[in-house]
């Protein structure tokens, strides 16, 4: 029996032509998570008129939502077809979002380019977490905000995101995540503080209800055992 490929990033290109169609359940799940994230992020940051980078933007769900809040948005992702889909949809909606193909370990932007960097459902996929955090800090302006979410590393998170979400409920394609790449909040906090961030509160994100299509809706949940969101502000000095 063939072993499942883990951390399979090809899934985003594979469905790029249907990203905005609402006919793929796991893509709808990603779309449904955006309001839940923003219900908390909106209270941490005023998007209006700000330059914001959506790091790991895939087909553009978060980028368009932030654009709707009045930000000047740039999206970047290694999935070329997903970026093409995001760009085409933004154009069809009359949005002026810039989209680039690239990775978080080597962002193609000058120092101090953005007021905020948003990075959701990404940190648990990257090849080098320290490099990504360093690059995020580099492209942020002084006092800039990093807003993120990722998956905790523990048996309960593995059960929820691999066994249940991928294998049983089929909310995500099999092989989407590698549980060994999940990140404990204490580990992420340490990486951020070493890089020169003042780390804020971390809060839980998870299912809160079911919509008319039978899909989960998302929002704040008690505890950070599975998915957690957080913010970090760029400071003047690194802790290293």
Query: Would you give the DSSP letter of residue 239?
Result: -
Q: How many CA atoms lie within 13 A of 95 on its CB side?
A: 25
Determine the Cα–Cα distance for residues 94 and 46; give it in Å rounded to an integer: 22
**CA-to-CA separations, 128 to 37, 69, 125, in angstroms, rounded:** 24, 31, 9
Determine the Cα–Cα distance for residues 92 and 88; give it in Å rounded to an integer: 6
The pTM assigned to this predicted structure is 0.94
Determine the Cα–Cα distance for residues 182 and 205; give it in Å rounded to an integer: 15
Please list, residue by residue across 98-118, b when 16 or more beta carbons sit within 10 angstroms of its beta carbon and e when fewer do: ebeeebbeebebeeebbbbbb
* CB proximity list for 112: less than 8 A, separation 6 or greater: 139, 140, 141, 142, 144
pLDDT value of position 172? 84
**CA-to-CA separations, 139 to 66, 81, 96, 110, 117, in angstroms, rounded:** 18, 25, 20, 6, 8
Determine the Cα–Cα distance for residues 185 and 228; give it in Å rounded to an integer: 8
Q: Of the candidates 38, 35, 66, which has an alpha carbon nearest to the alpha carbon of residue 52?
A: 66
Give the CA angle between residues 141, 144, 149 to the nearest 5°: 130
- Mean per-residue pLDDT pooled into runs of 10, the chain (240 residues): 61 91 92 96 98 98 98 97 97 98 98 98 96 98 98 96 89 89 98 98 95 92 97 79
CB-based contact 108:135 (threshold 8 Å): no
CB atoms within 10 A of CB 179: 18
Determine the Cα–Cα distance for residues 151 and 129; give it in Å rounded to an integer: 13
């Amino acid at each position: 029996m063939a072993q499942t490929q883990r951390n399979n990033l090809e899934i985003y290109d594979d469905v790029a032509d249907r990203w905005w169609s609402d006919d793929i359940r796991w893509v709808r799940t990603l779309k449904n998570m955006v309001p839940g994230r923003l219900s908390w992020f909106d209270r941490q940051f005023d998007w209006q008129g700000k330059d914001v980078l959506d790091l790991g933007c895939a087909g553009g769900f978060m980028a368009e939502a932030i654009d709707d809040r009045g930000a000047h948005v740039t999206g970047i992702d290694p999935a070329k077809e997903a970026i093409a889909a995001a760009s085409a949809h933004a154009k069809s909606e009359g949005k002026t979002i810039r989209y680039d193909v690239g990775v978080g370990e080597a962002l193609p932007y000058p120092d101090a380019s953005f007021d905020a960097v948003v990075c959701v459902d990404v940190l648990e996929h990257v090849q080098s977490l320290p490099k990504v955090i360093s690059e995020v800090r580099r492209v942020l302006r002084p006092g800039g905000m990093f807003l993120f979410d990722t998956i905790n590393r523990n048996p309960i998170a593995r059960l929820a995101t691999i066994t249940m979400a991928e294998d049983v409920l089929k909310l995500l394609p099999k092989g989407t995540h590698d549980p060994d790449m999940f990140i404990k909040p204490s580990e992420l906090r340490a990486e951020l503080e070493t890089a020169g961030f003042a780390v804020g509160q971390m809060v839980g994100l998870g299912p809160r209800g079911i919509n008319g299509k039978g899909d989960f809706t998302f929002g704040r949940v008690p505890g950070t055992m599975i998915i957690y969101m957080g913010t970090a502000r760029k400071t003047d000095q690194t802790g290293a």
